[in-house]
Amino acid sequence: MEMAKEIIGMLHEIKDTLNEHSTILNEHSNILNEHSVILNEHSTILREHSQILNDHSQKLDMHSETLQEHGLVLRGLRNGQEMLKAELSEMRLQNAREFGEIKEQMKDMGDSIDILKEYTWDNKKDILRIKKTMGMA
Summarised one tens digit per residue, pLDDT across range 25-79 is 999 999 999 999 999 999 999 999 999 999 999 999 999 999 999 999 999 999 9
Asked if residue 137 has pLDDT above 80, the reply is: no
For residue 122, the model assigns a pLDDT of 87
Give the Å distances, CA to CA, from 16 to 1, 19, 23: 22, 5, 11
Alpha carbon distances (Å) from 130 to 116, 117, 134: 20, 20, 6
- C-alpha 73 chain-centroid distance: 8
Q: What span, in angstroms and rounded, lies between the C-alpha atoms of 78 and 87?
A: 14
pLDDT digits (tens, 9 = 90+) for 108-130: 898 888 888 888 998 888 888 88
- Contact status, residue 12 vs residue 5, Cβ threshold 8 Å: no
Residue-level pLDDT at 124: 87
